[in-house]
């Protein structure tokens, strides 16, 4: 599927119905007891542009936009007026609601090496925290701070508005809090229901109405479902210093370090479902290997000639943590 970096007409999106949803199976026992199987950890947003159609010009604008995307074949940007900023409300219904701040959310912790970070927004309800990765920030709205000090775009960092990643000129120092704020669009496509025809009803002269025009959020490859990926392997070889570990590198990760103190840094688990094992670490080197989390906290030391499996657990307060076995 292709993606066109163009915006759905704001006049139509303002008024469209919108809302997040989950893919959940409810299994009911004969006793009436229910079991819920959540098949995704991240909500998927669904919209209906029909409610935003106001007059003849909107109908024609939508037809042009639909033809330009080849229907559902190519994605595009959509402004969700109910939630388009990293602020708590994100709407424009009240003055200042969508004013973003460079300390809206902490998006990462520096390690002195990493320069690239993903924009994100956090939603909190009680002890439950859900993090949404932002892949389509609006150009000119991204503000960033390190330990509360504002950074200058184009000097201290750059923004990739096609994937939502910020890149620092100099890596934030270890333990530094990297925070950010921005406005953002939702990557969507037309629903398959309009693949064959975009429904237009002519009710009278110069008076058309549209049938349902569903829009579906496109999920990014780094937004994992509740089923953690497994398989694959990587040999890091004779490495010293820091090595970032990612799920996409593979389940089995091998080190063959012969000197110094090699460090394997586990990924940020915010968007990962609990379970595992995520990693099976093999130390074939002649020195001990230190495995740390993304906050640089030591999780385990893997002695030479040994191995360890790493699971993502959750405690009684709902806090995630890595555990080695």
Average pLDDT over residues 21-43: 74
What pLDDT does residue 300 have? 95
Query: Sorting pLDDT into bands at 50, 70 and 90, what band is 126?
Result: confident
Q: For residue 52, what are the CA distances in angstroms to 8, 60, 65, 67, 89?
A: 11, 13, 14, 18, 21
Query: Would you state the structure tokens that stand for residue 99, as one six-digit string?
Result: 């004013």
Average pLDDT over residues 273-282: 88
Pairing verdict, β 34-38 and 24-28: antiparallel
Instruction: List the beta bridge partners of residue 321.
Output: 313
Q: Please tell me which residue, 207 or 240, carries the higher pLDDT value.
A: 240
- Would you give the distance in Å from CA 114 to the centre of its chain? 18
Q: Please tell me which residue, 229 or 93, carries the higher pLDDT value.
A: 93
Domain boundaries, the chain: 1-84+185-223, 100-183, 233-324
Q: Which of 186, 42, 177, 76 is nearest to 117 (CA)?
A: 177
Q: Which of 271, 229, 216 is nearest to 41 (CA)?
A: 271
What pLDDT does residue 42 have? 75
Q: Quote the pTM value.
A: 0.67
Query: Would you state the structure tokens that stand for residue 125, as one six-digit string?
Result: 């309800």
Task: Assess whether pLDDT exceeds 80 at residue 188.
Answer: yes
What pLDDT does residue 95 have? 58
Sign of CA dihedral 87, 90, 96, 100: positive
Q: Which residues contact 160 (CB under 8 A, 6 or more apart)?
A: 166, 167
Cβ–Cβ < 8 Å for 87, 96:
no
Coil vs helix vs strand at 79: coil
Q: Which of 138, 134, 136, 72 is nearest to 107 (CA)?
A: 134
What pLDDT does residue 185 have? 95
Cβ–Cβ < 8 Å for 292, 321:
no
**pLDDT tens-digit readout, 223-269:** 544 444 456 788 999 988 888 888 777 889 999 999 999 999 998 88
């Amino acid at each position: 599927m292709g993606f066109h970096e163009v915006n759905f007409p704001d006049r139509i999106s303002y008024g469209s119905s919108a809302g997040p949803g989950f893919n959940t199976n409810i299994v009911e026992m004969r006793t009436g007891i229910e079991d819920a199987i959540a098949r995704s950890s991240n909500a998927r947003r669904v919209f209906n542009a029909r409610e935003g159609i106001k007059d003849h010009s909107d109908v024609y604008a939508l037809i042009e936009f639909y033809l330009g995307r080849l229907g559902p074949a190519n994605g595009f940007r959509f402004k969700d007026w109910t939630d388009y900023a990293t602020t708590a409300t994100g709407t424009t219904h009240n003055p200042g609601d969508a004013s973003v701040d460079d300390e809206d959310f902490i998006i990462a912790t520096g390690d002195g090496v990493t320069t690239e970070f993903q924009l994100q927004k956090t939603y909190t309800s009680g002890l439950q925290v859900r993090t949404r990765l932002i892949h389509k920030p609006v150009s000119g709205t991204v503000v960033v701070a390190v330990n509360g000090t504002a950074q200058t775009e184009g000097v201290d960092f750059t923004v990739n508005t096609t994937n939502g990643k910020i890149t620092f000129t100099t890596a934030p120092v270890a333990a530094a809090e990297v925070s950010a704020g921005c406005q953002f669009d939702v990557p969507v496509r037309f629903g398959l229901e309009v693949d064959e025809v975009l429904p237009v009803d002519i009710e009278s002269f110069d008076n058309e109405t549209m049938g349902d025009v569903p829009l579906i959020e496109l999920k990014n490859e780094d937004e994992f479902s509740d089923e953690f990926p497994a398989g694959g392997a990587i040999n890091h070889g004779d490495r010293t210093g820091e090595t970032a570990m990612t799920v996409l590198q593979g389940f089995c990760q091998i080190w063959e370090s012969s000197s110094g103190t090699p460090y394997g840094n586990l990924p940020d688990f915010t968007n990962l479902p609990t379970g595992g094992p995520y990693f099976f670490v093999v130390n074939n080197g002649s020195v001990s290997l230190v495995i740390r989390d993304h906050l640089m906290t030591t999780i385990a030391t893997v002695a030479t000639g040994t191995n360890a499996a790493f699971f993502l657990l959750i405690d009684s307060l709902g806090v995630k943590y890595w555990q080695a076995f």
